[in-house]
Each structure stands twice: as structure tokens, then as C-alpha cells.
Structure 1
Amino acid sequence: MTASSTTHASREQQTEDEFPEDDPDISTVPFVEQRAFGRGLWKNPIQFVSSTPETQPTAASTNGKTMAEKYLAIMFPNGQSQPEPDAYPRCGICGEPVKESDQRIHYLSPAHQAVLPRAPIPSAIDRTRMGLKYMEKHGFDVDARKGLGSSGQGMLFPLVPKEKRDKFGLGIDKKEHVKQKALGGASRADVSQGRLDAGKVRKLAQVEKKKHEKLQTMFYGNDEVEKYLGQLGG
């Protein structure tokens, strides 16, 4: 035996010792001869578990009529009592039993009068108004209780009343009055153009002073000091 064959045999013995053939996790196939990853997976398909069983359990069918008959037999062993006929005939308008001997007495009873259709109350608008006459000329009926418009789809009344909760006269702008009050009773035009008398100048100075004091308190005031001074003053 030559030295080369001895070396080759020793290498094979060393390879067999390092990579035994009976180990399933170790492959001795050369890298170039190995199959691509995923090849052959289709031969062993995965068996998925269905969410519902293939064969549904057959439930015992129950007859609803039979169950109802059993329930009635338990609740009414002697048979279900038949409803007694009305002793008095019922009115076809109000549906109440007519117990009175005279039908006119029943017609005047509150129960019968409550279901009768009511005639609409005439409107309280003055019929001599020129605006109402103009609207009636164009087809508006004040007693029809329909809205404005060709098919009655609009408002029911031309003017919607609104409660007045201030003491301002008619035609006075409330927003402008509030602005003048903030300027001491003067308008912005008078302030910008300098058309102020001595009284308005004094009031405007007081307003500016109060505004300045309010800003000073908001930015530089101390809540604890204000609370302490309030307790002393109280």
C-alpha cells in the first residue's frame, strides 16, 4: 500500500467520523448537487383542519305547533276559555261601548267628542291690513293653516315674533351701543377725530384706567395676595 492511498483512506475515515451518514440532520451530498429549496414540497400537501365539521349533527326536529299545544294543555287543562261577547255595542267612531239608552247622550259624551275632527280656529290677524289683502290677492289663505308658497311649503306666518329683552328703542343697534359704552359713551368716529367734550373725555379716561388695571391684574396679579386682601376686606 502506497503512502497516497493511506492518506486518502485516513481522510475518508476522518470525514466519516465528523459527518456520520446515519445523522438525518447532516447532508453529505455536495453543494452543487443539492436540490433547490422548496422543490418536492408539493408531493406532501398540508392537511388543513376545517373550521366546521364535514358532517353536521342532525338535530331532532321539533314541531312548533306541537309545543304550543303542550303549553296550552299545561296552562289550560280544562280548555281555553272563549272571550265573552260584548254586552254593549261599540261606537263606530270612538270605539267605546254605548251604554246609554239614547245615542244622542253618547254623542255628547267627552269620550266621543274628543275624537271628532275639530274645525280650525280662525286666525286673529286683522283682516283690514293692506299686506294681508295683497297676499290674499295672490292666493294666500290666512285661515287654511298652510305655509307661504305655491304648495304651502314655506313658513306659516310671514314674520316670526321674537321677544325683546332690552330697553333700547326701535332702530338702535345694540352692538354699536355696547361699543359706545366701552368708549365712555362716545363713538369711534368721535374718538378718532377728537370730537369729545369734557364729560366724554373724563368717562373715556375712566374706561381706559379700568382696562389698564384689569390687564395689570391679569398679568402681574398674585392669587394668594388677592385672596388674603379679600379676606381682610371682607
Structure 2
Amino acid sequence: MSDDEDSTPLEVQRIFGAGIKRKRIDFVPAGAASTESTRQPNPPTFTGDKYLSIVLKNGASSSELNTSNTKASNASESLPQHQLEPKGAVCEICRLPIKASDDTSTTSSKPHEASIAHQVCLQHSRPPSHLDRDRQGLKYLSSYGWDPDSGLGLGATGDGIRVPIKAKVKNDTVGLGVELRETKKGPEKKVELLDAKKVRKKDLEDRKKGEKLQQMFYGNDDVERYLGGG
């Protein structure tokens, strides 16, 4: 849109798509039918045949349905047991039969290779081990041919442990492998509850005991004789 058209009012501006040449469409005129359909008399129908034609959607009558069922039952009775069993290919990986619906020709159904039973039997790649490669123990075992990423344990057959032993904190000073005997603990002393009189008496005894010990350690015999206490 040019600058002149910006200033013009909306009712004067050209509509969108004006000036574009369009190709004319030539419509086919409707013609009258040249042939006339001839009506034929409908055969007599029964209610059962009408119901079967609606349900089965193939127009089969009751007599035809009974005849087909009789032939199928006679054919199944005449065949031996091993021929009645469905034959199908067996998967070499999961050892399960491959159904006819699992063929590659049918795109709507899921193929047999995508089933869970088949995927479980496949060999999948293992993630690398989480062990620290700088450990001295891992370096020692790797020098003797053990691969931590192989998923096998220690030993020649690979049945050993695959992860290090968890360390436990040892707080005592006893040697490794030494079992201590349990010491028998004596009966616990009962806590004696004292009243106010017994508390004062015990406090007086403790004070006298403390003064006696202080006299024994810090007392001087010469001073005691001089003061007349000896």
C-alpha cells in the first residue's frame, strides 16, 4: 500500500486482492441421463435373512449360513489333531511363535521385534562401572585382568562380588577378628531420695570430710603446736 492510500479514507480504498487476474473456471453443464434403469421384481425375502444381511453385512441368508457352518464342522472333524494346530514361525531369539499379524506387510500392528518379550531376550549394552579408576585396589585387580565394565564379578568364573565391601568405622583398639567377651554388669544401684533433714545432714558430713582432707594435705604440725591445736 502506497503513502497516498494511507491518507485516503477506508470507504475509498480498494479491497484486498483488487487488480489480481484470476483464471475463469469452466463448469461442466449437467446432462440428462441417457439410459433409463429398468426395474426388476424383487425376490421374496424373509425376516431372518433381512436380519442376517444387516448384522453380517455380506447379504448371507440363513440357509447359506447353515450350509457353511456344516461344511466347516465336517472339515474340522475330518482333519487330524496336528493339522488343526496353527502353524507359524518361531523366533530364534525369544523362542516364541510369530503370529500372522506380526508380519511386516501389516503396518498397523506392532512388529514382533518391538514386543517386550523379544526385547528382554536381546543382549543390551551395559553402562560403565561407577567405580573410581584412581583406586589402588581397582588398579591392582585390573592388572590381573579383571574388567569392571564387563558386569562380571571377581574370580575365574566371574561369580564373585562386583562392588567393593562397604567400610565400617572401628572405634575400639581391639585387633581385627578378635571377639570380646561380654562383661556381666552388676545390678544398678537405686537412686535414694532424700528429704530436707537428710540433705542437711549429708551436707554437714561432706563439709567435715573436706575440712579433714584439707587439714591432712595443707596442715603444718609446727603451726598447730604453736596455736595449741596439736
TM-score (norm: length of structure 1): 0.32
Per residue, is there more helix in 1 or in 2?
1
TM-score (norm: length of structure 2): 0.32
